[in-house]
Structure 1
Amino acid sequence: MDYFKLAEKLYDAEKKRSQVGRLTDDFPEMSVEDAYQIQLANVKRRLEQGEKLVGLKIGLTSKAMQELLHVDWPDYGHLFDTMLLTEGEVCHMSELIQPKVEGEITFHINKTLEGPGITIADVYEATDFIMPSIEIVDSRIKDWKIKLPDTIADNGSSARIMCGSNFSRLEDIDMRTTGMILEKNGELINSGAAAEVWGNPVASVACLANMLADFHIPLKAGSLVMAGAFTAAIPVQAGDCVTASFTNMGSATVKFVE
């Protein structure tokens, strides 16, 4: 299995806004570790081409998303500066393939977390603030017909990130009972509680730090960490406006245009 060739296939699909078949159809023996090696090959490629790594995301932390992929363990992906949308900035559908949106809490950490052995207490100590966020996921795999190794290889189906401008102190927010509502064009589409995210989004961040230890990757000080979706992702199209609102944390909004 040529990791770099498979990584290039996914990278080219993203750049050309095209879809490719499942990698696992051609390589049914592909393991989770193989998939992360493919992901890391594209991380290296993007860094070499001048993109900057700004953080990481953990995904498949809610039962809704795990049931969708028939898995019982999270995955993760890398976040780059080219994925960031500033508040008020629109998201261009022409740059994506088949996007969906999720409401999440994003952590900003000011102390490096390097597993194994990272605890919830460590995450509390390392977090300087949290933000309401929308993750825009996208798949380069045709029709979102993915298996776990496919989405891992595809950088956790990452695409864009919109963080709201309201910063909260972690200790001021109940990380289990905080609610989120996801509205599209003013209509309530999804709602959930923070406890859906690995029992507690703080535990989700600790889990990520410990998973990264398998590849000797730290969560570096200054990183953004997306803790996982409260609910299943919803599809969007040009003209849609999506808002994720969080109890006592404010909201994040993104509008989609051609």
Structure 2
Amino acid sequence: MNIDQIAAEIHKAILNREQITPFTDRDMSLSSANAYKVSTKLCELRSWQVNGRKIGFTNRSIWPIYGVDQPMWGSMSNNSISYAKNGMPLIKLSDYCEPRIEPEIVVCFASTPPLRATEEQIAKSIAWVAPGFEIVDSIYPGWKFNIPDTIAAGGLHGQLVVGEKVIDTNDLREKLIDQKVILCCDNKVVEEGSGGNVLDGPISALKHLLDGISAEPSEVSVKAGDIVTTGTLTDAKPLRVGQTWNGKYSGIINSSLSVEIV
């Protein structure tokens, strides 16, 4: 199969909410570099104007659960990003195959960081931070795959709900490492997490993203106004209709974010 054929099969699976055999389990070779080319083609097929990225598998503690050993990233667009302004956002379960929810730290870039930027330079390029819930979805049965499969499928990105913005970005690197979240489902604590679970902190995750993008010819760097969600602070949790999920954030982000599953 070539790049276009793989992208077309993934696009069809997403549209029809059908699961498919991971490409790395087939009689073919799919490298991470080619998987990013597939992801770029997938955005074209979906008519997505890319205005951000999601970083996945930044929480090293969950690598053994998914059989992976490195982070990856995928694209986001206005089609997949929403803002929790009035009322509780609704997540429609039937839009997905095997959706899960992840509490994350979201950033917006004020400018494009320089090539091979330091973490300090990256932090100074950020306009605001916010709490976020990413809905991730696997078109591969049972969440069984290898890294190239996840890259090709757009980083398993479903949608992102962004909460209240914080524009005080002083000492951002350290404050984001110290950021805490309590993840609750139907008013019961499910798991607690922190920014320290995201590689060596969310800014470290952003550096991994930016360095990775610069090494991939098919990728374009972030620009002013782009949104990046930096990775889950807990393990991803399966969703069921009727649930209400709440993330209670404390630290530089000191607010709550809730979504209802319908």
TM-score in terms of structure 1 length: 0.92
Deviations 1:156-197 (A, max 9, x none): 100010111242423266122221111111111111121110
* CA displacement at 1:97 relative to structure 2: 1.4
> Which residue does 2:7 correspond to in 1?
7
Deviations 1:199-250 (A, max 9, x none): 1101111111111012242111110011111121000111111112221311
Cα 1:178/1:29, change in 2 over 3 Å: same
2:241 is equivalent to residue 223 of structure 1: no
The 2-side partners of 1:231 and 1:28 are apart by: 33
The 1-side partners of 2:168 and 2:101 are apart by: 25
Structure 1 residue aligned with 2:245, among 242, 246, 252?
242
Gaps of 5+ in 1: none
> Which residue does 1:129 correspond to in 2?
128
Structure 2 residue aligned with 1:254, among 253, 256, 259?
259
**Contact 2:180 2:194 survives alignment (8 Å):** yes
Counterpart of 1:176 in 2: which secondary structure?
helix
> What are the equivalent positions in structure 2 for 1:1-258 lying under 5 Å apart?
1-27=1-27, 29-46=29-46, 49=47, 51-87=48-84, 88-113=88-113, 115=115, 117-171=116-170, 174-216=175-217, 217-248=220-251, 249=253, 250-257=255-262
* CA displacement at 1:28 relative to structure 2: 5.0
* CA displacement at 1:61 relative to structure 2: 0.7
**Contact 1:114 1:219 survives alignment (8 Å):** no
TM-score in terms of structure 2 length: 0.91
Deviations 1:87-109 (A, max 9, x none): 13211112111100111100011
* CA displacement at 1:86 relative to structure 2: 2.9
Superposed CA RMSD: 1.6
Counterpart of 2:33 in 1: which secondary structure?
helix
* CA displacement at 1:54 relative to structure 2: 2.1
How many correspondences in the alignment? 253
**Contact 1:69 1:148 survives alignment (8 Å):** no
Counterpart of 2:197, as a letter, is: E
Counterpart of 1:247, as a letter, is: S
Counterpart of 2:193 in 1: which secondary structure?
strand
Counterpart of 1:175 in 2: which secondary structure?
helix
Cα 1:114/1:215, change in 2 over 3 Å: farther
**Contact 2:32 2:151 survives alignment (8 Å):** yes
**Contact 1:85 1:91 survives alignment (8 Å):** no
The 2-side partners of 1:94 and 1:86 are apart by: 21
Identity %: 24
Deviations 1:120-166 (A, max 9, x none): 11111110110001110001112211111111111110001011124
Counterpart of 1:170 in 2: which secondary structure?
coil
Cα 1:66/1:245, change in 2 over 3 Å: same
Cα 1:55/1:183, change in 2 over 3 Å: same
Cα 1:27/1:37, change in 2 over 3 Å: farther
**Contact 1:30 1:149 survives alignment (8 Å):** yes
The 1-side partners of 2:125 and 2:95 are apart by: 34
The 2-side partners of 1:179 and 1:168 are apart by: 18
- Large movers: runs of 4+ above 4 Å: none
Deviations 1:22-45 (A, max 9, x none): 111114532211211211111222
**Contact 1:209 1:218 survives alignment (8 Å):** yes
Gaps of 5+ in 2: none
